[in-house]
Amino acid sequence: MAGKKSLFAAYVPVTTVSKREKITLFLVYAKEVAPDAFVSYEEITQRIYGGAKAPGAKSLEVQGVKNTMSSVRRSLMAEPYLCGLATDPIYGARATTGDGDLLETQMVRASRGLKSAQSMFTGTADLIDPRKIPNTPRYKELKTWFNQSVQPVVKAISSTDFAAKLPPPKRDPEK
């Protein structure tokens, strides 16, 4: 916060690593100092670069941090951190604190991503008529792949069982 002293004011930025690693190190530190607390992208930017004041939300630095978050997620999931990344459209981002937290945040997000990818995959496959694929050397391998691999996969992921099991249970908004 502007007036109150930030929880992360004591963080010493690491300057010799990439931006992705800077953000990862800071989020892991923030998880230890204030578990479950989201950190705004402005504050993340301020802490990783060691500025006296947080930059504006529309500044290039903050936008750069936001754009790096998907690779930060992969970095957090790898050794030695082995955790996930929880993001919030209003309050920022944080590293997950345990398996339950990981299930509640990143797993739910990943299942939504898989649902979206599934509909894109099956939708694209439905548009393709294998009989209309030209029998030229250019498409020969891809046509074989489509007939032998893609169509069985489409059949598997289009099943009602898959569609029923993939989405997470809906939460009661009152809870």
Beta bridge partners of 85: 95
C-alpha to C-alpha distances, 29 to 110, 116, 163, nearest whole angstrom = 24, 33, 38
**Piece of 1-9, 16-24, 45-53, 160-168 that binds other proteins (CB under 8 A):** 1-9
Would you say 3 or 169 has its CB closer to other proteins?
Answer: 3
Q: What is the 3-state secondary structure (H, E, C) of 110-152?
A: HHHHHHHHHHHHHHHHHHCCHHHCCCCHHHHHHHHHHHHHHHH
59 binds other proteins (CB under 8 A): no
Residues found in the chain: 175
Q: Which residue among 8, 29, 38, 81 contacts other proteins (CB under 8 A)?
A: 38
Would you say 57 or 156 has its CB closer to other proteins?
Answer: 57
CA atoms within 13 A on the CB side of 56: 3
How many Å apart are CA 175 and CA 171, to the nearest integer?
Answer: 8
Would you say 9 or 90 has its CB closer to other proteins?
Answer: 90
Q: How many CB atoms lie within 10 A of CB 22?
A: 23
2 binds other proteins (CB under 8 A): yes
How many Å apart are CA 4 and CA 10, to the nearest integer?
Answer: 14
* Segment holding 43, helix H or strand E: helix 41-49
90 binds other proteins (CB under 8 A): yes
CB of 91 to other proteins, least distance (A): 7
40 binds other proteins (CB under 8 A): yes
CB of 123 to other proteins, least distance (A): 33
35 binds other proteins (CB under 8 A): yes
According to DSSP, residue 93 is labeled: E
Would you say 41 or 61 has its CB closer to other proteins?
Answer: 41
88 binds other proteins (CB under 8 A): yes
53 binds other proteins (CB under 8 A): no
3 binds other proteins (CB under 8 A): yes
Binding site for other proteins (CB under 8 A): 1-4, 7, 34-38, 40, 88, 90-91
